[in-house]
Amino acid sequence: MAETKTTVTAANAKTASHQPAKSSNLFSSLAVPICLVIGFCLYYFVLGNPANFQGGNVEGKPVEAGIGKWFGTVYHGGVVVPILLSVLLTCLTFVIERALYLSKAKGKFSGAELVRKVQYHLANKNVDAALAECDKQKGSVGNVLKAGLKKYKEMIGNTELDTEQKLLQIKNEIEETTALELPMMEKNLVFLSTIASVATLLGLFGTVLGMIKAFTAMSAGGAPDSSQLALGISEALINTALGIGTSALAIISYNYFTTNIDGITYAIDESGFTLTQSFAANHK
C-alpha cells in the first residue's frame, strides 16, 4: 500500500514538472509568428508612415529633421528590413524570457551558499533544517538538493538496503531531478544561437539587394548622380547595421546565459557530491 502511494506521488510530481515545459513550448511556438507580425506592422505603419517623408510620399525622400528622418531612411532599406525587425524582436523576446527564467533558477541566494548551509545541517544530522534551506533558496540547486535530501531522509530509516545501495538510490534521485532541471535552463537558447548566425546573413542579403537596386537605377538614368548613389548605398547599409546589431545582441546574450547555466550546473554537481559524501560519512 505504501509502495503504491509512493508511486502515485512520484507520478504526480512528474506530471507537475511537465507543466512548465508545456507552457514554455506554447510560448516558443507563438513568439516567432507574433514577432513576425509586429515586425511587418512596424515597417509598414510606423517606419512607412507618410509623415516621415517629404510631401507625404513614401517613395520620396525622408523628412530632413527629427526622428522621422531616421524612420524614413530605415523604411527605404527594402523588403528585408521587416524580416530583420522581426528577427530583432524575436531575439529581444527570448533574451528577456531567458533572463527572467535564469534569474529564477539562480534562486534567492547562490547555490554555493546553499551547499554550505546544507553541509552544516547535515553535519549536525538535522535533515529537516537542510530541507528548509532548500525551500528558502527556491532555485534549481535548491530543487535538486531538496529531492536528494528527501531520498536521504528516506534512506536513513531504510533497514533493507546496505550503505552502497542507499548511496546509489540518492545518486539516482539527484540525477533524475537534474535531468528535469537542465533542459529547462537550456531551452530556447537554440533561437539565440540561430539568430546569431542568420541575422548577419540576412543583413548582407538585404545590402546586396539594395546595392543592385542602386546601381541599376544609376545605369538606367544615364549620367551618374553621386547624391542618388550615396543615398542608395546608405539605404542598403541599413540592412547590414540591423543584421550585425541583432547578431551581436544574440551572441553576447547566448554567451552570458550559457556561462550562467554552467555556474548553476557546477553548483548542482557540487550539491550532489556533498549529499552523497555526507551520507557515506554519517551512515557507515
Is the pLDDT assigned to residue 3 strictly greater than 70?
Answer: no
Lowest-pLDDT choice from 191-195, 230-234, 240-244: 230-234
Is the Cβ–Cβ distance between 234 and 73 less than 8 Å? yes
Residue 244's pLDDT band, with cuts at 50, 70 and 90, is very high
Is the Cβ–Cβ distance between 206 and 81 less than 8 Å? yes
Reading the block at residue 110, the C-alpha cell is: 547562490
Continuous H helices in the chain: 2-41, 67-75, 80-106, 111-123, 127-137, 140-156, 163-186, 189-220, 226-282
Q: In terms of pLDDT, which residue wins out, 163 or 218? A: 163
Reading the block at residue 58, the C-alpha cell is: 513614401
Reading the block at residue 267, the C-alpha cell is: 553548483
Mean pLDDT for 225-246 is 81
Please choose, from the candidates 188, 262, 201, the residue with its C-alpha nearest in 3D space to the C-alpha of residue 25: 188
CA–CA distance, 249 with 95 (Å, rounded to integer)? 9
What pLDDT is stored for residue 59 in this prediction? 82
What pLDDT is stored for residue 15 in this prediction? 43
* Per-residue pLDDT reduced to its tens digit, 174-208: 999 999 888 889 889 999 999 999 999 999 999 88
What pLDDT is stored for residue 42 in this prediction? 95
Length reported for the chain: 284
The whole-chain average pLDDT of the chain stands at 85
CA–CA distance, 109 with 87 (Å, rounded to integer)? 34
Q: In terms of pLDDT, which residue wins out, 147 or 11? A: 147
CA–CA distance, 265 with 69 (Å, rounded to integer)? 48
CA–CA distance, 120 with 131 (Å, rounded to integer)? 12
Is the Cβ–Cβ distance between 113 and 270 less than 8 Å? no
Angle, CA 153 vertex, CA 152 and CA 156 arms, to 5°: 90
CA–CA distance, 208 with 97 (Å, rounded to integer)? 33
* Per-residue pLDDT reduced to its tens digit, 121-141: 888 888 899 999 999 998 999
Give the global pTM: 0.83
